[in-house]
Chain A
Amino acid sequence: MLSRRDFLKLVIKGAIMGNFCELIAPSLAQSVVAGEVKKLPVVMIETGTCTGDSISLDNIWTPTFSDILSNIVDWRYDWSMMQTQGASAYKVLQETYEKMPNEYILIVQGSMIQRDNGHYNHVVFDNGKLITGLELVRRMGLKAKYVVAIGSCATFGGPVAGYPNPTQATGVQNILPERRVINVSGCPAHPDWIMGTLLHLALYGEPELEKFGRPKLFYAETVHNRCPRRRDYDQGIFATDIGQKQCLFRVGCKGPVTYADCPIRRWNDHLNWPIGCNTPCIGCTEPGYPDLMSPFTAHLPDIPFPGGTKVSTDAIGLGVLGLTSVALVGHAATALYNGRLQKNLLKASVKAPNRPSVKKVKTIHQYKLKKNMK
């Protein structure tokens, strides 16, 4: 069996080579055969979702989803795939809950809809009673070995929780405070992120998580830091409209505040990704998505929050919006101070004396100057 250190190496290697799961899956399949690891029992509950994460997971390149079903995962309950329907489908869920406590992994896809006690979203029919998504996720979640939230909706509320949030949607962690929820965010989440997290759970248990509960394996670096157009940014060469080949920072790219490994992992056959498609990153893995990232295709500080000046109800949201703007502007300002942007942007030739060093602040996504340095 792989050691944890080997696993982490494979994550990086796999991201670059584009075959992460192929590298890791055979050893897992061997482990399953050898009896070291059991086939993972997984139940998937869909709540307020577009089912995009299921589709994204079907798109996994290596191993194929067929391999995963046959060799790695015991995909017990998933209403978009099960052969039976109605009561006999629900029975599977109920049996898993009763006979395999602390053994199954609960995957939640979709936001938790809270308005009117969750009655805007029903998911199963139990003895003449409709059960809300909220209730089912809480019931299943308390007895699961791990709870994994996939997609932006399940992790932080996502597009369903966009202003004015008509259904009071929120992420799974908020309705399940007793437990740690592993957040695999993204709109949709990359199949490698979902499968990699599940494989880590199968082989070594819980992966190391960052402050928003996302596995550091995949969410440790900003898109901006690994972006192939970073050179353009550093030299101040900016696109003036979407569809151009330069750095898209000025047309709304949220790469500097977005933590994900899209630039090296890429999507669908590891072929392309949003910035590769000459469109800005819209920050879909971040807790602030989509409101703090709107408008997607315009530079953030220029345009106010949806709802215009009447946003009295969302003062807090505005505050955070301010932070995101400050983070983006701050980042540009820092780059200016560093002398990286000045060549083209300011057309100045004077180098700043005593370059201030930059440190990353942990609590908000922002670069800040150290105070006591000039």
Chain B
Amino acid sequence: MYDPTVARLTYRGLLGRRRAVILGALPVLLIVISLAVRGFSGADDQVAADVLGGFALATMVPVIGVIAGTGAIGPEIDDGSVVYLLSKPVKRPAIIFTKLIVAIAVTMVFSAVPTLVAGLILNGNGQQVAVAYTVAALVASIAYAAVFLFLGTVTRHAVVFGLVYALVWEALFGSLVEGARTLSVQQWALAVAQKVAGGDLVTSDVGLPTAVILLAAVTAGATWYAGQKLRRLTLAGEE
């Protein structure tokens, strides 16, 4: 299923100069914030959890997911260069699967790794906060990459929709509307993190079984549908 050539093209496209700068900016910001917080208020488990939950998991991970997920396929469909992948004896679900792996890997590297580093800076992994949020970031990376990769196959405006989902739905509605929280990748990831941390610093509105089922379902569904979408992708049109 995994095609190394598709992966190489996707990596090089994703980590091109401009996108790499955007991907790198948020993690750098997180580290800077963590250093500042630690410097001003010292090691504090609650503050660490607030920074990692409020900025790393709520903002950074979904935004990185949007950039990596949509960027893994959207630009190629947009400019038509995907034709060079599609006009090959390579199964289209394999193309999607490979791009998903790449998007997940990039999202993890640019979100989970800085989350761990920030956590260690903030309170040296006291009460397992750093590890718990890193696990949450890893789990969320998978679901975000899949969802935003799928978005990249259905709309030219995947980045906009992705950011709206990540920032408006997850951040805003999630805090206002009860039901929205159940349908939030962030909350599902937190459910897993809660299990890891054990204490009451990390909490989720969703139970662990529900979270795991929804995570798996969304990831699998988005990937399957993206594969179908690519099989039916038409590059036509009188321009």
A binds B: no
